[in-house]
Amino acid sequence: MTFPTDPPEALTIVIVWHLAFTQAAPQSRPNLYTRKSGAHWKADWDPKSTPYPAARRDDISFSYQSAAAHGNVTIADPYNYLEKSASSSKEVQDFIDQQNSFFKTYQQRIKDTDAIRASIKDAGHYDELSYPEAYGSSDNPLYVYTHKELGSDLKSLYVATEAEIDQAVKNKFSPLPGKKVLDESSLDKNFLIFDQNISPDGKTLLYRLQQRGTNDLTTVHLVDISGLHEGKDAKSYPEQISGNQDILDG
Protein backbone atom coordinates (compact mmCIF):
# COMPACT_ATOMS: atom_id res chain seq x y z
CA MET A 1 0.00 0.00 0.00
CA THR A 2 1.29 3.45 -0.87
CA PHE A 3 0.04 6.90 0.04
CA PRO A 4 0.05 9.40 -2.87
CA THR A 5 1.66 12.80 -2.63
CA ASP A 6 -0.46 14.40 -5.37
CA PRO A 7 -2.77 16.86 -3.51
CA PRO A 8 -6.18 15.64 -4.86
CA GLU A 9 -5.36 11.98 -4.23
CA ALA A 10 -3.78 12.76 -0.88
CA LEU A 11 -6.89 14.67 0.18
CA THR A 12 -9.03 11.66 -0.72
CA ILE A 13 -6.86 9.43 1.45
CA VAL A 14 -7.16 11.86 4.37
CA ILE A 15 -10.96 11.87 4.05
CA VAL A 16 -11.11 8.06 3.89
CA TRP A 17 -8.74 7.81 6.87
CA HIS A 18 -10.91 10.23 8.87
CA LEU A 19 -14.19 8.52 7.98
CA ALA A 20 -12.82 5.07 8.70
CA PHE A 21 -11.66 6.12 12.14
CA THR A 22 -14.76 8.09 13.14
CA GLN A 23 -16.91 5.12 12.14
CA ALA A 24 -14.89 2.88 14.43
CA ALA A 25 -16.81 4.05 17.49
CA PRO A 26 -20.11 5.49 16.23
CA GLN A 27 -21.88 7.87 18.55
CA SER A 28 -25.53 7.23 19.32
CA ARG A 29 -27.82 9.78 17.75
CA PRO A 30 -31.24 10.71 19.18
CA ASN A 31 -34.40 10.24 17.18
CA LEU A 32 -35.50 13.83 16.81
CA TYR A 33 -38.91 12.87 15.45
CA THR A 34 -40.85 10.58 17.75
CA ARG A 35 -44.30 10.70 16.17
CA LYS A 36 -45.43 9.91 12.67
CA SER A 37 -48.76 10.44 10.93
CA GLY A 38 -49.13 8.71 7.58
CA ALA A 39 -46.16 9.61 5.41
CA HIS A 40 -45.50 12.94 7.11
CA TRP A 41 -43.54 13.80 10.24
CA LYS A 42 -45.52 15.92 12.69
CA ALA A 43 -44.05 18.48 15.07
CA ASP A 44 -45.80 19.29 18.33
CA TRP A 45 -46.43 22.86 17.20
CA ASP A 46 -48.91 24.69 14.98
CA PRO A 47 -48.10 28.12 13.43
CA LYS A 48 -51.82 28.94 13.30
CA SER A 49 -52.18 28.81 17.07
CA THR A 50 -48.73 30.34 17.56
CA PRO A 51 -48.41 32.84 14.68
CA TYR A 52 -45.17 34.29 13.45
CA PRO A 53 -44.31 37.84 14.61
CA ALA A 54 -45.76 40.43 12.25
CA ALA A 55 -43.37 42.53 10.19
CA ARG A 56 -44.41 45.81 8.64
CA ARG A 57 -44.17 46.03 4.85
CA ASP A 58 -43.20 49.39 3.39
CA ASP A 59 -43.92 50.52 -0.14
CA ILE A 60 -40.29 51.16 -1.00
CA SER A 61 -38.15 50.16 -3.94
CA PHE A 62 -34.72 50.87 -5.40
CA SER A 63 -33.64 51.25 -9.01
CA TYR A 64 -30.36 49.86 -10.31
CA GLN A 65 -28.72 50.18 -13.68
CA SER A 66 -28.62 46.84 -15.51
CA ALA A 67 -26.58 46.10 -18.61
CA ALA A 68 -28.60 42.92 -19.21
CA ALA A 69 -31.88 44.85 -19.13
CA HIS A 70 -30.40 47.73 -21.16
CA GLY A 71 -31.66 50.18 -18.58
CA ASN A 72 -32.77 50.40 -14.97
CA VAL A 73 -34.23 47.56 -12.91
CA THR A 74 -36.52 48.33 -9.98
CA ILE A 75 -36.37 46.04 -6.94
CA ALA A 76 -38.98 46.12 -4.17
CA ASP A 77 -37.49 46.14 -0.68
CA PRO A 78 -40.42 46.25 1.79
CA TYR A 79 -38.30 45.20 4.78
CA ASN A 80 -35.47 47.64 4.23
CA TYR A 81 -36.07 49.22 7.64
CA LEU A 82 -35.01 45.95 9.31
CA GLU A 83 -31.49 46.43 7.94
CA LYS A 84 -30.88 49.05 10.60
CA SER A 85 -28.95 48.02 13.69
CA ALA A 86 -30.91 47.19 16.83
CA SER A 87 -28.93 49.78 18.75
CA SER A 88 -30.14 52.55 16.42
CA SER A 89 -33.75 51.42 15.97
CA LYS A 90 -36.19 50.50 18.74
CA GLU A 91 -38.46 48.95 16.11
CA VAL A 92 -35.72 46.58 15.00
CA GLN A 93 -34.89 45.67 18.60
CA ASP A 94 -38.57 44.99 19.32
CA PHE A 95 -38.78 42.75 16.26
CA ILE A 96 -35.71 40.78 17.41
CA ASP A 97 -37.25 40.37 20.87
CA GLN A 98 -40.48 39.09 19.30
CA GLN A 99 -38.51 36.62 17.17
CA ASN A 100 -36.65 35.32 20.24
CA SER A 101 -39.88 34.98 22.20
CA PHE A 102 -41.50 33.17 19.28
CA PHE A 103 -38.63 30.70 19.07
CA LYS A 104 -38.81 29.96 22.80
CA THR A 105 -42.49 28.98 22.51
CA TYR A 106 -41.40 26.38 19.95
CA GLN A 107 -38.26 25.31 21.80
CA GLN A 108 -40.19 24.66 25.01
CA ARG A 109 -42.31 22.08 23.19
CA ILE A 110 -39.28 20.04 22.11
CA LYS A 111 -38.88 17.10 24.46
CA ASP A 112 -35.40 16.08 23.24
CA THR A 113 -33.54 19.38 23.72
CA ASP A 114 -30.75 17.80 25.76
CA ALA A 115 -30.36 14.98 23.24
CA ILE A 116 -30.20 17.47 20.37
CA ARG A 117 -27.52 19.51 22.15
CA ALA A 118 -25.53 16.34 22.86
CA SER A 119 -25.86 15.22 19.24
CA ILE A 120 -24.58 18.55 17.91
CA LYS A 121 -21.69 18.48 20.38
CA ASP A 122 -20.79 14.87 19.54
CA ALA A 123 -20.81 15.61 15.80
CA GLY A 124 -17.83 17.92 16.20
CA HIS A 125 -16.00 16.08 18.96
CA TYR A 126 -13.92 13.03 18.18
CA ASP A 127 -10.41 11.68 18.52
CA GLU A 128 -7.94 13.09 16.00
CA LEU A 129 -5.67 11.08 13.73
CA SER A 130 -2.99 12.61 11.57
CA TYR A 131 -2.22 11.53 8.01
CA PRO A 132 0.15 8.50 8.10
CA GLU A 133 3.52 9.19 6.51
CA ALA A 134 5.75 6.46 5.09
CA TYR A 135 9.41 6.31 6.15
CA GLY A 136 12.34 3.96 5.82
CA SER A 137 12.72 1.40 3.06
CA SER A 138 10.39 1.63 0.07
CA ASP A 139 10.21 -2.19 0.05
CA ASN A 140 9.28 -2.46 3.72
CA PRO A 141 8.08 0.98 4.87
CA LEU A 142 6.92 2.04 8.30
CA TYR A 143 4.05 4.49 8.72
CA VAL A 144 4.09 7.20 11.38
CA TYR A 145 0.94 8.95 12.58
CA THR A 146 -0.28 10.74 15.68
CA HIS A 147 -3.40 10.18 17.76
CA LYS A 148 -5.02 12.73 20.06
CA GLU A 149 -7.83 11.65 22.35
CA LEU A 150 -11.01 13.70 22.64
CA GLY A 151 -10.61 16.43 25.24
CA SER A 152 -6.82 16.20 25.34
CA ASP A 153 -4.25 18.55 23.80
CA LEU A 154 -1.53 15.90 24.05
CA LYS A 155 -0.82 13.51 21.19
CA SER A 156 0.75 10.08 20.97
CA LEU A 157 3.11 8.95 18.21
CA TYR A 158 2.44 5.58 16.56
CA VAL A 159 4.51 3.51 14.15
CA ALA A 160 2.77 0.84 12.06
CA THR A 161 3.73 -1.58 9.32
CA GLU A 162 1.99 -1.61 5.97
CA ALA A 163 0.19 -4.83 6.89
CA GLU A 164 -1.08 -3.28 10.14
CA ILE A 165 -2.43 -0.24 8.27
CA ASP A 166 -4.20 -2.51 5.76
CA GLN A 167 -5.77 -4.54 8.58
CA ALA A 168 -6.83 -1.37 10.41
CA VAL A 169 -8.75 -0.21 7.34
CA LYS A 170 -10.71 -3.47 7.40
CA ASN A 171 -11.35 -3.13 11.16
CA LYS A 172 -12.31 0.57 10.91
CA PHE A 173 -9.25 1.46 13.00
CA SER A 174 -10.40 -0.31 16.12
CA PRO A 175 -7.94 -0.92 17.63
CA LEU A 176 -5.41 1.60 16.36
CA PRO A 177 -2.74 0.02 14.16
CA GLY A 178 0.90 -0.40 15.14
CA LYS A 179 2.58 0.45 18.40
CA LYS A 180 2.65 3.61 20.46
CA VAL A 181 6.29 4.69 20.62
CA LEU A 182 5.92 8.07 22.31
CA ASP A 183 3.34 9.90 24.39
CA GLU A 184 3.54 13.66 24.96
CA SER A 185 2.13 13.14 28.46
CA SER A 186 5.44 11.47 29.34
CA LEU A 187 7.42 14.56 28.31
CA ASP A 188 8.20 17.64 30.32
CA LYS A 189 5.01 19.74 30.25
CA ASN A 190 6.96 22.62 28.70
CA PHE A 191 7.71 20.66 25.51
CA LEU A 192 5.83 19.04 22.63
CA ILE A 193 6.73 16.93 19.59
CA PHE A 194 7.61 19.16 16.64
CA ASP A 195 8.45 16.61 13.92
CA GLN A 196 9.84 13.13 13.39
CA ASN A 197 11.65 10.93 10.89
CA ILE A 198 12.82 7.34 10.52
CA SER A 199 16.28 6.27 9.39
CA PRO A 200 16.56 4.76 5.86
CA ASP A 201 17.12 1.29 7.33
CA GLY A 202 13.88 1.60 9.34
CA LYS A 203 15.58 0.87 12.65
CA THR A 204 15.65 4.26 14.37
CA LEU A 205 12.97 6.87 14.96
CA LEU A 206 14.08 10.45 15.50
CA TYR A 207 11.81 13.08 16.98
CA ARG A 208 12.46 16.73 17.74
CA LEU A 209 10.99 18.72 20.62
CA GLN A 210 9.75 22.28 20.65
CA GLN A 211 9.28 24.50 23.68
CA ARG A 212 5.61 25.34 24.17
CA GLY A 213 4.57 28.85 23.25
CA THR A 214 7.76 29.54 21.31
CA ASN A 215 9.44 28.71 18.01
CA ASP A 216 12.48 27.37 19.83
CA LEU A 217 13.54 23.87 18.76
CA THR A 218 15.44 22.11 21.50
CA THR A 219 16.71 18.54 21.21
CA VAL A 220 16.43 15.51 18.92
CA HIS A 221 15.82 12.14 20.56
CA LEU A 222 16.32 8.63 19.17
CA VAL A 223 14.15 5.53 19.61
CA ASP A 224 15.13 1.98 18.63
CA ILE A 225 12.24 0.58 16.55
CA SER A 226 14.20 -2.21 14.88
CA GLY A 227 11.95 -4.87 16.38
CA LEU A 228 8.57 -3.40 15.42
CA HIS A 229 8.25 -5.68 12.38
CA GLU A 230 8.57 -8.62 14.78
CA GLY A 231 6.07 -7.15 17.25
CA LYS A 232 8.67 -5.96 19.76
CA ASP A 233 8.34 -2.71 21.70
CA ALA A 234 10.32 0.42 20.91
CA LYS A 235 13.23 1.40 23.14
CA SER A 236 14.42 4.96 23.74
CA TYR A 237 18.11 5.82 23.65
CA PRO A 238 19.40 7.96 26.53
CA GLU A 239 21.43 10.13 24.14
CA GLN A 240 20.09 13.34 22.67
CA ILE A 241 21.52 15.82 20.19
CA SER A 242 21.03 19.48 19.39
CA GLY A 243 17.80 20.22 17.51
CA ASN A 244 19.28 22.24 14.65
CA GLN A 245 17.08 23.04 11.66
CA ASP A 246 18.42 20.37 9.27
CA ILE A 247 18.82 17.39 11.58
CA LEU A 248 15.62 15.63 10.40
CA ASP A 249 15.87 16.46 6.71
CA GLY A 250 16.35 13.62 4.25
Q: Residue 163 is part of which domain span?
A: 125-242
Is 174 domain-assigned?
yes
Is 100 domain-assigned?
no
Is 212 domain-assigned?
yes
Here the CATH number for the domain that contains residue 214 is 2.40.128
Position 5 scores a pLDDT of 42
Structure confidence by residue, pLDDT tens digits, 106-148: 888 788 888 888 888 888 778 888 989 998 878 888 999 999 9
User: How many C-beta atoms lie closer than 10 Å to residue 225's C-beta?
Assistant: 24
Claim: this prediction has a pTM higher than 0.85: no
Is 153 domain-assigned?
yes
Is 185 domain-assigned?
yes
% of the chain with per-residue pLDDT over 70? 76
Is 40 domain-assigned?
no
Position 239 scores a pLDDT of 62
Position 41 scores a pLDDT of 43
Model confidence at 16, in pLDDT bands (50, 70, 90)? Answer: very low
Q: What is the DSSP string of the chain?
A: -----SHHHHHHHHHHHHHHHHTTSPPP---S---EETTEE--S--TTTSPPPP------EEEEEETTTTEEEEEE-TTGGGGS-TTT-HHHHHHHHHHHHHHHHHHTT-TTHHHHHHHHHHHT---EEPPPEEES-SSS-EEEEEEE-TT-S-EEEEEEEHHHHHHHHHTTTSS-SSEEEEEGGGS-TTEEEEEEEE-TTS-EEEEEEEETTS--EEEEEEEE-TTGGGTPPPEEEEEEEE--TTTT--
Q: Quick check: 245 pLDDT over 90? A: no
pLDDT greater at residue 37 or residue 138: 138
Q: Quick check: 231 pLDDT over 80? A: no
Q: Quick check: 81 pLDDT over 70? A: yes
Count: domains in the chain: 1
Is 218 domain-assigned?
yes
Is 71 domain-assigned?
no
Position 240 scores a pLDDT of 62
